[in-house]
A and B are shown apart, each in its own frame.
Chain A
Amino acid sequence: MAEVLEQEVKVKAPAEPLFSKKNRRLITDPLNDNNPITVQVLGICSALAVTVSMKNAFIMTLAVIFVITLSNLIVSLIRNAIPSRIRLIVQLVVIATLVTIVSEVLKAYAFTSYKELSVYIGLIITNCIVMGRLEAFAMGNKPWASILDGIGNGLGYGAILIIVAFFREFFGKGSLFGKQILGDWYEPNGLLVLPVSALFVVGALIWIHRAWRKNLVDIS
C-alpha cells in the first residue's frame, strides 16, 4: 500500500528532480560523445595556445567554466526579452563583461599567469564554445538546465586542455605544475614545447577518440 502511494506521489510531482537523468546527461555528454573540442571543433584557438603548462591550462579551464556557466545563466534568464535581431550583440556584451571580470581578477591575484596567458584571456570572448552554447542551448532552455550545460561543456573543454597540457609539459619539460618529476636522465623533447606540437597532440587525441567511438567517424 505504501509503495503505491509513493508511486502516486512521484507521478504527481510536476518539477523534475534537480539531477534527473536528462540533466545528468547535460554534464556527461560534453565529456565524451559531444565533446566541444574533439567532436564539435569549437574553441580550438585558446585550447592550443595555453596548453604548454598544466598551471595555465588549469587557470584557463576555470576561467572558461566561470564565463560559460554564468553567461549561459544570464542569457537564459533574459532569453525572452532579447530581440532576435540584436541577440548576437547582447550575447557578446554579456560575455565581454564576464571576461573583463576574469581578466581583472587574474591581474590582481595571479599576475604571472595573467602575463603568460596575455591575449588569450581576452579571446575567451570570441571562444566559439561560449557563443555556440548560448546560441544553441541557453536561448531555448530554462536557467537550471543552462547552468548544467555550461558546466558540462566547460568540463569537456577543460578535460581536453588538461590532457594535452599533461603530455606537453610531462614529455616536453619532464615536469608537472612546474615541479620536476623526471630526473636528469630524461632528455626533454623540445618539439613538445613549441606551439605546433599542440596540433599533433590534439590530432592524435581525435584519432584515438574516434577509433574508440566509431559513431563519431567523419564519413564525408
Chain B
Amino acid sequence: MDLFNTWLNAAFVENMVLAYFFGMCSYLAVSKTLKTAVGLGLAVIFVLTVTAPINWLIENYILGETGIFGMDLTFLRFLVFIAVIASMVQLVEMITERFFPALYNSLGIFLPLITVNCAILGGSLLMLTKEYNFAHSTVYGFGAGFGFFLAIVALAAIREKLRYSNVPAPLRGLGIAFIITGLMGIAFLSLSGIKL
C-alpha cells in the first residue's frame, strides 16, 4: 500500500511535467501527433524505471560516505548519473532492436534522444532529495515515467484537435501549447496538498 502511494504521488500529485517542468523540451517538441507522443511516453517510462533504481544503488553504495570507497564522492554525482543514463539508453536501444523490432522501429529517433531528456536526470536527482529506499525508488521511477506519459499524451491529443480551431496567428503552435500546458498545470494543482 505504501508503495502504491509513492506511485500515485509520483504520477499525479508531483507530476514530472506539470509540477516540476522536467522534460519540457521534448514534451513540447514531440507532442504534435498522438502516435509519436505515445512512443516517446513509453520509452520514458521504461528508461526512468530502469535508471532510478540503478542510480539509487550507485548513490548509496558507491558515492555515499557509507559506500565502498568510504568517502563522500557525491560531487561526482552529475557525471556518474549522466553516464549511467547514456549507457542505459544505449542498452535499451540494443535490447529493443534485438527482441522487439516493431517497437524499436516505431520509437525511432526518440530512443537516443531520451538521454538528454531532463525528465530522466531530473527524476534521479529528485528521487535523492526524497530519501526513498530501494523499492520505493523503483516505484517512484515508474510513477514519474507514467506521469510524463500521461501529460504528453494529453497534450498531443489536445493539439491534434486544436488544428480545427481558430487560434490568433502569432499564438499558433508553440504559444498556445504553453498556455494549454499552463491550464493543465492548474488542473493538476487541485491534486497538490493531498497527503498519501
Residues of chain A whose beta carbon lies under 8 Å from any beta carbon of chain B: 38, 41-46, 48-49, 88-89, 92-93, 96-97, 99-100, 103-104, 118-119, 122-123, 125-128, 131, 194-200, 202-203, 206-211, 217-220
Q: Which of A97, A127, A198, A210 has the most CB of B within 10 A?
A: A210
The complex places the Cα of A196 from the Cα of B18 at a distance, in Å, of 8
Contact status B79-A97, CB under 8 Å: yes
Q: Shortest distance in angstroms between B76's beta carbon and chain A's nearest beta carbon?
A: 7
The 5 closest A-B pairs by CB, nearest first: A218-B173, A199-B182, A203-B178, A196-B185, A210-B170
Which residues from chain B contact A206 at a C-beta distance below 8 Å? 170-171, 174-175, 178
A25–B176 Cα distance when bound, in Å, is: 30
Whether the Cβ atoms of A41 and B86 lie closer than 8 Å is no
Task: Indicate if the CB atoms of B174 and A41 lie closer than 8 Å.
Answer: yes
Q: Contact at A93–B79, with CB atoms within 8 Å?
A: yes
The answer to whether A100 and B76 have CB atoms under 8 Å apart is yes
Q: Which residues of chain B come closer than 8 Å to A219, judged between CB atoms?
A: 172
Inter-chain contacts of B132 with A (CB < 8 A): none
Interface pair A123/B182, CB less than 8 Å apart: no
Interface residues of B (CB under 8 A from A): 18-25, 28-29, 75-79, 82-83, 86, 112, 115-118, 120-122, 125-126, 129, 168-176, 178-179, 181-182, 185-186, 189
State A78–B157 Cα separation when bound (angstroms).
43
Which of A42, A97, A122, A209: most chain B Cβ within 10 A?
A122
Interface of B is mostly: helix
* Contact residues in B for A125 (Cβ distance below 8 Å): 78, 82, 121
Which chain B residues border A194 with CB–CB below 8 Å? Answer: 189
A-B contact count (CB 8 A): 131
- In whole Å, how far is B43's beta carbon from the nearest beta carbon of chain A? 15
Could you name 9 residue pairs across A and B whose Cβ atoms are closer than 8 Å? A41-B174, A44-B21, A100-B75, A100-B78, A118-B129, A207-B171, A210-B175, A217-B170, A218-B173
Whether A200 pairs with B86 at a CB distance below 8 angstroms is no
Nearest CB in chain B to that of A126: its residue: B118
Q: Are the C-beta atoms of A92 and B115 separated by less than 8 Å? A: yes
Least CB separation from A38: chain B residue: B174
Q: What 5 new A-B contacts, CB under 8 Å, besides A100-B78, A126-B116, A203-B176?
A: A42-B25, A96-B79, A122-B122, A210-B175, A217-B172
Contact A88 B115 (CB under 8 A): yes
Complex-state Cα separation, A128 to B23, whole angstroms: 10
User: Is the Cβ of B25 less than 8 Å from the Cβ of A196?
Assistant: no
- Contact yes or no, B125 A122, CB < 8 A: yes
The CA-CA distance from A49 to B22 in the complex, in Å, is: 9
A59 to B159, CA, bound (A): 35
Chain B residues with CB below 8 A from A93, complex form? 79, 82-83
Instruction: Flag if A123 contacts B121 (CB, 8 Å).
Output: yes
CA distance A125 to B22 in the complex (A): 13
Q: Which of B24, B115, B172, B179 contacts A44 (CB 8 A)?
A: B24
- A48's contact among B21, B29, B168, by CB below 8 Å, is which? B21
- Check A199/B25 contact, CB under 8 A, given A92-B82, A100-B75, A126-B118: no
Judge whether B174 and A49 touch: CB under 8 Å: no
Q: Which residue in chain B gives the minimum CB-CB distance to A128?
A: B25
Is A126 touching B182 in the complex (CB atoms < 8 A)? no
Which of chain A's residues have a CB closer than 8 A to the CB of B170? 206-211, 217
Given A45-B24, A217-B170, also A197-B182 (CB < 8 A): yes
- Cα(A202)–Cα(B122), bound, Å: 22
Contact B79 A196 (CB under 8 A): no
Contacts of A122 in B (CB 8 A): 77-78, 121-122, 125
Chain A residues with CB under 8 Å of B77's CB are 122
Task: Let me know if B182 and A89 touch, CB within 8 A.
Answer: no
